[in-house]
Amino acid sequence: MSRQFLEFEQPIEELRQKIEALRMVSDGHDMNLAEEIAKLEQKSVQVMKNVFSNLNSWQMTQMARHPMRPQTSDYIEQIFTDFTELHGDRTCSEAPAIIAGLARFEGQPVMIIGHQKGKKTSEKVYRNFGMARPEEYRRALRLMKMAEKFKIPVITFIDT
């Protein structure tokens, strides 16, 4: 999926494109543009700090709703090890809008429960756009009770 930039992020995207263009020229023509690339990368960091430290209320709202923001599955993949998803509420059907299961965080077992909206349209439809149904809440409750019984911490991710 291609990266989507909001209007106030355009200066950052322009610098990123310049850096990529210089890298391609440098690689394709055996030219050493490392110094120029380093300067642009430093400038990019400064522009990024400036842009994100001066966001107004609406821009913060846009960032919170950004279509490319990380989702529960991204956090699970990056933070935890040995994730095993647990399915079913034991009374009804599968519940795809909530991801839940056991994993390890720094070697300690944890229970993870989080909303998953989906990234592509087909996945969004499959996951009901992250809107949990009653059976999904029953599954979450069942897993929380299981975590309590085995004295396992519960980590939740709520995507509104």
Determine, yes or no, domain membership for 11.
yes
> Which residues on neighbouring strands pair with residue 66, listed in sequence order?
none
Amino acid 30: pLDDT: 65
Q: Are 115 and 44 in a shared domain?
A: no
Torsion of CA 50, 54, 60, 64, to 10 degrees: 20
Q: pTM for this one?
A: 0.69
Domain match, 113 and 43 both = no
Q: Quote the DSSP letter at residue 95.
A: -
- Higher pLDDT: 97 or 94? It is 97
Residue 145 sits in the same domain as residue 77: yes
If phi over 0 gives left and psi between -120 and 50 gives alpha, with beta otherwise, what is residue 129? left
pLDDT in tens, 7-21: 888 888 888 888 888
CATH number at residue 114: 3.90.226.10
No. of helices (H) and no. of strands (E), the chain: 6, 4
Residues 55 and 119 in one domain: no
- 82 band by pLDDT with thresholds 50, 70 and 90: very high
**Residue 96 to residue 140: CA distance in whole angstroms:** 12
What separation, in Å, do the N-terminal and C-terminal C-alpha atoms of the chain show? 22
Q: Where in the sequence is the domain holding 14, given as residue range(s)?
A: 7-64
**How many domains does the chain contain in total?**
2
Q: Of 64, 92, 108, which residue constitutes the final position of a domain?
A: 64
Based on the domain organization, do 32 and 101 belong to the same domain?
A: no
Q: Which residues contact 107 (CB under 8 A, 6 or more apart)?
A: none
